[in-house]
Amino acid sequence: TEYDVKAAFLFNFARFVTWPDSAFANADERLVIGVIGKDPFGPILRETIQDKMAQNRSLTVRNIESSKDIRGCHILFVGAATREDVSKIVSQVGENPVLTVSEQDHFCQLGGMVNFVLVSRRVRFEINPHAVERSGLSVSSRLLKLARIVEDP
């Protein structure tokens, strides 16, 4: 399904994005995928990452109620939200080392980093590399080759 594919992409983002050491409290800290807003994955995302590693870290999923609770996330999936909510969330993340991902129209133009899009009923993604760089993250060239690049407005 669409969300099986998106969950697999989120796992691969964890594998092909590099976080600065300062993004983790210690070497054993898990890489946290936060889901804020309506969670479209259900159990799929947890099942996809179960018993898997990325960046030599185990992974976990955390549902987030409010943008005030994003601390400790490394990947933040922004579910269904209003345009104003997206802007607020992106603003709160700021330049922290958190990879923001969504499926909202124009997410990358609003300052988000990665956006899922459907092209001929297939899941693809676009990346705003400048937003990624501002956060101190680095994206593998292998991942960038698969993406449609979106520039800042």
Q: Which long-range contacts (CB under 8 A, 24 or more apart) does 18-25 make?
A: 18/55, 18/137, 18/138, 18/139, 18/140, 19/55, 19/74, 19/97, 19/136, 19/137, 20/97, 20/136, 20/137, 22/97, 22/136, 23/74, 23/97, 23/136, 24/57
**pLDDT tens digits for range 81-123:** 767 788 888 888 988 999 999 999 889 998 999 999 999 999 9
Q: What is the pTM of this model?
A: 0.94
Q: What pLDDT does residue 128 have?
A: 96
Q: What is the mean pLDDT of residues 10-33?
A: 96
Q: What pLDDT does residue 82 have?
A: 65
At 57, is the pLDDT very low, low, confident or very high (cuts 50, 70, 90)?
very high
CB count within 10 Å of CB 107 equals 26
Tokens representing 19 are 């976080």
Provide the mean pLDDT of the chain: 92
Share of the chain above pLDDT 70, in %: 98
| 36, 41, 46, 52: CA torsion to nearest 10 | -100
Q: Alpha-carbon distance 8 to 28, whole Å?
A: 23
Q: What is the mean pLDDT of residues 44-55?
A: 96
